[in-house]
Structure 1
Amino acid sequence: MTVKQVEENSVEQEQVLTEEQAELTRMYEAATAYKKLSPWKWMSDNTVFAVRNPEDEEIGYCSIMGTSESLYGLALFRGAEGLESLNDMLLERDERYAWLHRQKCMMVTYEDRADIEKRDWQEIKDLGFSFRGKNAWPMFRAFDPGLVPWTLNREQVRFMTTALEQVMIVAERVKKDAETLAAPRSGQVLVRELENGTWKDTWRDPDFILKRPVKVMCEDQARLNDVMERFPNKKGHWETEFFFAPVAVQGESERPYYPRLCLWVDRLARQAVGFHLSYDDNYEQEFLNHFLQLIEEKGARPQKLIIRTNDTVDLLEKTAQRMKIKIEREPKLVYLEEARDDLFEYFMKNDKK
């Protein structure tokens, strides 16, 4: 085949690409170049800088993965909520399983052929790409709190492409000058921004979420008063927490979600008191009603509730105060974690059947 024929074939191939396929092609080309660059060889995953999406101004905080040599790629944490989830992981504030359900980000990771899903393989094949070797196949996923990881939509494809291209520019500069990401003022983050058609560096304070905790009040006051009157005695120290269940369910949308689960364990008796799964957005009232139900079943209020997370305190504090139940904070709940692991194992085993 002559050079002219090759060029003609290339033009033909470009002509049959749809606009969406062209966007995907550019993303895979950027991911291929990023893998070839391998910036994790000189940059650690706790080095954070950012790229602003020129389409909607959202900031994506970049974390280069590969230092641990167990997972290679790029994570793009979206906005203030994404940055908060990144900080939780870097500071190891999240318990086992929790990071998967809390993060708000997009990722490209490099997988073995056997580890990519059928839809990824088909997309790669349809676009005419081919990859060989270990950790060679790019896989793109969007992560959102409480939702199953999902393929990128077109807007996300374009942002991921832009981020990969800008990250490579920053990484090559860091390779030449380790002080590239040294902030002029403590706490600031380098942000790549498109201004008047030109990409430039700006230094900005990160967009942390500053929100006041919402203390939940039990809506069924009649039932709460009834339980207080009928069960004045107190017995037991209950460890409690709520989190996302490990098995997803299908809702009304195409993308499955993880229901929330609240677990109670009596530390003195060293046994589970009960658990409740909520498939509803009104999970907080469900968990409070379940708490009252457990008191009715046990015939007594707990003497104290032992809690690890802020979210669980916000859920139970007002009800506990009303019922004169003491709340204690502890960084680790041994019996609850054991019960949770057993419960998760049960869910996972039954999900495979």
Structure 2
Amino acid sequence: MVNEPTLAEWRHLYDLAARIKTMAPWGWMDETDVFGVQDPVSGETGYVSIMGALGEHLAVTAYLGTKTLYEFWEFQDEDSSYWPDGHLLEMPQLQVSFLGRDELEPADRALMKQLGLTFRGKQAYPVFRSYLPGYVPVLLNAPEARFMTHILEQVLDVAPRIREDDAILLPGDDDTYLVRVAHMQGDQLMWEDTAVHLSPPDYEPLPISVDTQVLETLKKQKPGSLELEVDLILIPARVQEKADERPRFPYALGVIDARTGFIFGIPLLTVETSLEEMWARVPDTFVHVLADHKLAPYQVTVPTGFLLELLTPVSTALGFKLRQSDDMPQLRAAVDSLFQSLAGD
């Protein structure tokens, strides 16, 4: 396809990845040792994080844009129970990770075979992915591959210098970053260190809208002793309506009876325009599950602070107790059963 990298571009990427694997910058860098690389074509900056200090997941990731960088820091700084598991992979990013042979997908195997590449050893196979919120990770397209080439080349330049003097990562205050920027000199790209001061982005409030007519109907119901367990779960399945569109992940809003395990609803949501837009639909989706089953819960338990915030307006309107807890056995059992059925077990 026109938007795919050439075989020569792929070969260069695999060569760069192999050099990084040999250098092993995770031996002296943590994932919070972040520096930027500006794309010479688009002007977008990818903020590079080296993963693998604990030896579990070896990767080079570039978080795309200032907003994503600050989301990364929020994820690092927030109480671990605020965001759902896997939220880091809901951030826009380009990544090369080093996996075992048995972890490769058919597309990776086919590409390596086409290039005649072989790798040996544990966590030896470079796997390149583009991540977008709510979408299935896919191989890099041509512009992404070219940007990733610059990123890996700059890792090879910057990481050894950080090993000698990690002060280069701190060219100013906490909001000032080392960013590698290129300019043309003749027909060559010349890279230089720059200190870029960033300002935290302004976050727009989620455009939450709940069906007021349904809400008023629910207010008329007398609360009983019903307790619910509720979670928003990313489903590891592909949703793809057209062959030429990027496949998406569906999310399920599980609404479970905390005593019996009865499933009142698992309505599916997908990203249409943005992850934030999908999140904004969660309260209304929950309200409609309550209305469909004429439920007047006394208490609703959710696992994350994020979901607690999303459902607080509904809790306030309907008067039920909303609490956060990891102890949700009925919902976990329902999710496990769902995942087993998807896996064909």
TM-score, normalisation: structure 1: 0.80
Is 1:201 the counterpart of 2:197? The answer is no
1:171 is aligned to 159
1:341 is aligned to 332
Is 1:261 the counterpart of 2:257? The answer is no
1:49 is aligned to 35
Counterparts of 2:164 and 2:313, CA distance in 1: 56
Counterparts of 2:43 and 2:321, CA distance in 1: 42
Q: CA RMSD in A?
A: 3.0
Q: Is the 8 A contact 2:37 2:180 kept in 1?
A: yes
Is there any run of 5+ residues in structure 1 with no aligned partner, and where?
A: 1-17
1:67 is aligned to 53
1:321 is aligned to 316
Q: Following TM superposition, by how much is the alpha carbon of 1:63 offset from its aligned partner in structure 2, in angstroms?
A: 1.0
Question: What percentage of aligned pairs have identical amino acids?
Answer: 24
Among 162, 170, 187, the residue aligned to 2:175: 187
Counterparts of 1:19 and 1:245, CA distance in 2: 30
CA deviations over 1:103-141 (Å, ceiling 9, x no partner) = 321111122233222322222232243322222221111
Is 1:90 the counterpart of 2:81? The answer is no
Larger gyration radius, structure 1 or structure 2: 1
Structure having the larger proportion of residues in helix = 1
Please give the residue correspondences for 1:79-228 in structure 2 after superposition, counting only pairs within 5 Å: 79-91=65-77, 92=80, 97-99=85-87, 101-196=89-184, 197-206=189-198, 208-214=200-206, 216-219=208-211, 221-228=212-219
Q: Is the 8 A contact 2:282 2:310 kept in 1?
A: no
- The one-letter code matched in structure 1 to 2:327 is V
2:16 is aligned to 30
Question: Aligned residue pairs: how many?
Answer: 328
CA deviations over 1:319-343 (Å, ceiling 9, x no partner) = 44333x155453x3422xx334323
Deviates more, 1:247-256 or 1:31-40: 247-256
- The one-letter code matched in structure 2 to 1:212 is E
Q: Following TM superposition, by how much is the alpha carbon of 1:160 offset from its aligned partner in structure 2, in angstroms?
A: 0.7
Q: Residues 343, 287 of structure 1: CA spacing in aligned structure 2 closer, same or farther, 3 A cutoff?
A: farther
Q: Residues 111, 285 of structure 1: CA spacing in aligned structure 2 closer, same or farther, 3 A cutoff?
A: closer
Q: Following TM superposition, by how much is the alpha carbon of 1:165 offset from its aligned partner in structure 2, in angstroms?
A: 0.4
Among 284, 287, 302, the residue aligned to 1:291: 287
- The one-letter code matched in structure 1 to 2:290 is L
Counterparts of 1:80 and 1:272, CA distance in 2: 43
Is there any run of 5+ residues in structure 2 with no aligned partner, and where?
A: none
SS at 1:334's partner residue? coil
Counterparts of 2:301 and 2:123, CA distance in 1: 43
Q: Following TM superposition, by how much is the alpha carbon of 1:222 offset from its aligned partner in structure 2, in angstroms?
A: 2.9
Q: Is the 8 A contact 1:85 1:104 kept in 2?
A: no
Q: Following TM superposition, by how much is the alpha carbon of 1:307 offset from its aligned partner in structure 2, in angstroms?
A: 4.6
Q: Residues 150, 190 of structure 1: CA spacing in aligned structure 2 closer, same or farther, 3 A cutoff?
A: same
